[in-house]
Amino acid sequence: MQQTLFDKIWDAHIVKAVEGGQDAIYIDRHFIHEVTSPQAFDGLRRRGIPLARPKQTIATADHNVPTKNQHLPISEPLSRKQVDMLTQNCDEFGIELYGLGHKHQGIVHVIGPELGITQPGMTIVCGDSHTSTHGAFGSIAFGIGTSQVEQVFATQCLLLKKPKRMRITVDGELQKGVVSKDIILYIISKLTAAGGTGHFVEYAGSAIRSLSMEARMTICNMSIEMGARGGLIAPDETTFEYLRGRQFAPQGADFEAAIAKWQQLYSDPGASFDKEHRFDAADIGPMVTYGTNPGMGIRVSDPVPTENGASFSKSLEYMGIAAGQRLLGKKINHIFIGSCTNSRIEDLRLVADFVKGKQKAAGVSVMVVPGSKQVEAQAKAEGLDKILNAAGFEFREPGCSACLSMNEDKVPAGEYCVSTSNRNFEGRQGPGARTILASPLTAAAAAIAGEIVDVREVNG
In this prediction, residue 406 carries a pLDDT of 86
Least-confidence region, from 175-179, 319-323, 379-383, 403-407: 403-407
58 and 119 in a single domain? The answer is yes
Tell me the three state secondary structure of residue 10: helix
What would the mean pLDDT of 405-419 be, rounded to a whole number? Answer: 94
263 and 326 in a single domain? The answer is no
Residue 407: pLDDT over 90: no
Torsion sign (Cα): 257, 259, 262, 263:
negative
Residue 459: pLDDT over 90: no
380 and 399 in a single domain? The answer is yes
Q: 239 in a domain, yes or no?
A: no
The gap from C-alpha 127 to its chain's centroid, in whole angstroms, comes to 13
Main-chain phi, psi angles of 394, to 5 degrees: -100, 115
Q: 240 in a domain, yes or no?
A: no
pTM: 0.97
pLDDT digits (tens, 9 = 90+) for 124-160: 999 999 999 999 999 999 999 999 999 999 999 999 9
Q: 267 in a domain, yes or no?
A: yes
pLDDT digits (tens, 9 = 90+) for 294-307: 999 999 999 999 98
Report, in angstroms and rounded to the nearest whole number, the Rg of the chain calculated over CA atoms: 21
In this prediction, residue 387 carries a pLDDT of 98
Structural domain span for residue 35: 5-161
319 and 194 in a single domain? The answer is no
Pairing of the two strands 164-171 and 199-204: parallel
Main-chain phi, psi angles of 375, to 5 degrees: -65, -45
pLDDT digits (tens, 9 = 90+) for 321-330: 999 999 999 9
215 and 319 in a single domain? The answer is no
Residue 460: pLDDT over 60: no
35 and 152 in a single domain? The answer is yes
How far apart, in whole angstroms, are the C-alpha atoms of residue 108 and residue 110?
A: 5
Q: Which of 95, 94, 64 is nearest to 79 (CA)?
A: 64
Q: 242 in a domain, yes or no?
A: no
In this prediction, residue 169 carries a pLDDT of 98
Q: 241 in a domain, yes or no?
A: no
pLDDT digits (tens, 9 = 90+) for 79-89: 999 999 999 99
In this prediction, residue 308 carries a pLDDT of 77
339 and 436 in a single domain? The answer is yes
Confidence of residue 186 (pLDDT cuts 50, 70, 90): very high
87 and 190 in a single domain? The answer is no
Total tally of structural domains belonging to the chain? 3
How far apart, in whole angstroms, are the C-alpha atoms of residue 287 and residue 299?
A: 4
Sequence-ordered alpha helix ranges (H) in 212-267: 213-221, 237-243, 252-262
Q: What is the CATH number of the domain that holds 295?
A: 3.30.499.10
How far apart, in whole angstroms, are the C-alpha atoms of residue 377 and residue 383?
A: 10
Query: Of 119, 146, 161, which closes a domain?
Result: 161
Query: Of 161, 188, 223, which closes a domain?
Result: 161
Query: Of 225, 258, 283, which closes a domain?
Result: 283
Query: What share of the chain in percent tops pLDDT 90?
Result: 97
Residue 410: pLDDT over 90: yes
298 and 446 in a single domain? The answer is yes
Q: 146 in a domain, yes or no?
A: yes
Q: What is the mean pLDDT of the chain?
A: 97
266 and 351 in a single domain? The answer is no
88 and 168 in a single domain? The answer is no
Residue 23: pLDDT over 90: yes
Residues 6+ apart with CB under 8 A from 221: 109, 130, 132, 133, 184, 340, 341, 422
Tell me how far CA of residue 1 lies from CA of 8, 247, 271, 273, in angstroms. Answer: 11, 37, 8, 13
pLDDT digits (tens, 9 = 90+) for 31-59: 999 999 999 999 999 999 999 999 999 99
What would the mean pLDDT of 401-416 be, rounded to a whole number? Answer: 93
